[in-house]
A and B are shown apart, each in its own frame.
Chain A
Amino acid sequence: MSLQVAESAIQQAEHADEAGGGLWREAFRRLVRKPAAIIGAIFVAIFVIVAVFAPLIAPYSPTATDLSQIKGPGHIPGPSSTHWLGLDDLGRDVFSRMIYGARQSLVVGVVSMAFGMVGGIILGLLAGGLGGWVDATIMRFVDMMLAIPGLLFAIGIAAMLGQSLVSVMIAIGVVNIPVFARLLRGQMLAQREADYALAAKSLGVKRSRIILGHVFPNSLSPVIVQGTLTLATAIIEAAGLAFLGLSGADPAIPEWGRMLADTQKFLTSAPQLVFYPGIAIVLSALGFTLLGESLREALDPKNRR
């Protein structure tokens, strides 16, 4: 009984140094005052809405061809009133393909980030929570993974798993595991020495309970920031893999990275085909990066007022 009372006191103490409201509520208040965060949030919102409601927004099917517009071989019609961004080399509506492409990019970004984050959290939690030889073994393993150039590592895994979007997502996820693991472990080591953790320890709270109930949840914010930033890098990395010929097996499914890679041969004749998917990747990645960076600053205790 007394232990429970003491524990709830500790829980309050964890947040006592924050002026008004919890850590996240306060961070949110700081966040909405930042122009960079607002711009990032708008980009991300547009990206997500387009991806989710693609069938309602796109004027044509992404695979339908309009051959009436093509006047002879090699002719790629530019923007017109019927096809806002023109047609691609196979007579498909580029605007519709861009809209549907947002879906693939969002899925690739979210799934590979989640894969890396979950893997990283498991390793980081084991290393930071158990310590000792478990920690040493996991961290050597993580160091080894970090020593391989990221893209080369991702290419290696994607090539081994075979041509599919799933293998691309696994490859990018695996490459990101060590980053999350290291971040969480470092944060947990710092939190374990915090006053509230020592107080709980001196009260005789079980170690597993301190680690899982107090230290772990208090160590998560940098991991969430990293997750937001990883959404951006995952989209860019997936485009890079597509450029190198490692992407989904079906070329009919529109995906920005692949659209960019497949249209490089038209750089002189129809540069717009290269330009649109490239800009879409930059803007969506920029949205997540702006949001992530602003979140990092908002959560940083140094910026607390």
Chain B
Amino acid sequence: MLRFIVRRLLLLIPVLWGLSVALFLWVRALPGSPAQALLGERATPEKIRQIEIALGLDQPLYVQYWRFLEKALRFDFGTSIQSSRPVVEEMGRRFPATIELGVTALLIAVLIGIPVGYFAARRHGTWLDQLSVSASLVGITIPVFFLAYMLRYVFANQLGWLPNTGRQEARMLDVEHPTGFYVLDAIVTGNGPALSDALLHLVLPAVTLATIPLAIIARITRAAVLDVLNEDYVRTAEAKGLTARTITRRHVLRNAMLPVSTTIGLQFGLLMSGAILTETAFAFEGVGKFVAQAIPSRDYATLQGFILVIAALFVLINLLVDISYGLIDPRVRVR
């Protein structure tokens, strides 16, 4: 097990190195330049030249790459030109926001998706089953940001129950955020109003982001439970006279959870794609919105640093998912 983990972690090095080269070349292949994006209408050849020298963009590519790599190894990704702050500082502010949003969304998707899929399978062929299947189809086909607007319109503009955009009210600006996870911060500092404010701001974005994973998890759970219910060992268990509860817990759920856990593990990519749209639609200051904004402003440092860290997190999450399979299914225990 330990050898497996070490080998996978060592594999991270060539993957990240390859990605750093690809990213470095990609940002420089984007049409236009940071200097032009920064100056906009006021761009003159001399001014562009000045900024390029200041940013080190006048150097040959291999020199630029070497400088980037040397700094990145010390976890220094330079300065973001959109915010004029160090990229690492921006990461510290934005990763907690996106992780908080993503984890909440995944919790919603799992806690609702699995029971919905399970009961749909148990009531196979009834209107309840039909309803869950149709709802999950709509959930998959509705554009994330359209859903975001509809929810904002109904729950923020019309009903006024929930905040429209952002992560906190303006009056909460002086609240301290030691970790950047607003919900966690409020709990740690025992600040009740800040906690309810953070949670209320999380509801609509998290529900929006949860929709697609929820629909997928519900569908997979339904299909998996239907498959297991038809298995011989379930019939045997019934014939043995086991109670319905025991059969469900020991046989049906445990076996049906294998494909479901694989699916949950695969949701991180979708969550990241969804976070870009959700954060932009709710003006939620997270990683997705910052990276999406970095492209039009040709913020090289942000794009290189953020995407590299996202990719590293991805590989680590996949590793955790692989390890967790062994815990759920003894048959795939890794050696």
A interface residues (Cβ-Cβ under 8 A, vs B): 147-152, 155-156, 159-160, 162, 232, 236, 239-240, 243-245, 257, 260-261, 264, 267-268, 271, 274-275, 278, 281-282, 285-286, 289-290, 293
Contacts and interface: CB of A to CB of B under 8 A. Distances in A.
Contacts of A159: 30, 295
Contact of A244 (B31, B150, B292): B292
B143 A282 contact: yes
B146 A289 contact: no
Contacts of B292: 155, 244
A245 B277 CA distance: 11
A271 B154 CA distance: 10
B269 A150 contact: yes
Given A282-B142, A286-B138, A240 B277 contact: yes
27 contacts: A147-B269, A147-B314, A151-B273, A151-B274, A152-B310, A155-B276, A156-B26, A156-B295, A159-B295, A160-B26, A160-B30, A232-B141, A236-B143, A240-B143, A243-B145, A244-B292, A264-B149, A275-B150, A278-B149, A281-B146, A282-B142, A282-B143, A282-B146, A285-B141, A286-B141, A289-B140, A289-B141
Contacts of B145: 239-240, 243, 260-261
Contact of A155 (B140, B153, B295): B295
B201 interface: no
B141 A152 contact: no
B277 A151 contact: yes
B141 A239 contact: no
Contacts, number: 97
Contacts of A243: 143, 145, 277, 280-281
Given A150-B269, A152-B291, A155-B295, A267 B142 contact: no
Contacts of B140: 289
Contact of B150 (A148, A278, A290): A278
The 5 closest A-B pairs by CB, nearest first: A151-B273, A278-B146, A285-B141, A149-B272, A149-B269
A184 B26 CA distance: 29
- By secondary structure, the B interface counts as helix
Interface of B: 26, 29-31, 137-138, 140-146, 149-150, 152-153, 157, 269-270, 272-274, 276-277, 280-281, 291-292, 295-296, 307, 310-311, 314-315
B143 A278 contact: yes
Contacts of A274: 146, 149, 153
B146 A268 contact: no
Given A162-B31, A274-B149, A281-B146, A149 B141 contact: no
Contacts of A282: 138, 141-143, 146
B219 to A, nearest CB: 10
Contacts of B26: 156, 160
A216 B260 CA distance: 31
B228 to A, nearest CB: 15
Contacts of A285: 141
B196 to A, nearest CB: 25
Nearest to A268: B157
Given A239-B143, A243-B145, A260-B146, A290 B273 contact: no
Nearest to B32: A162
A267 B154 CA distance: 10
Contact of A293 (B137, B274, B291, B295): B137
Contacts of A245: 296
Contact of A267 (B149, B272, B296, B315): B149
Contacts of B314: 147, 149
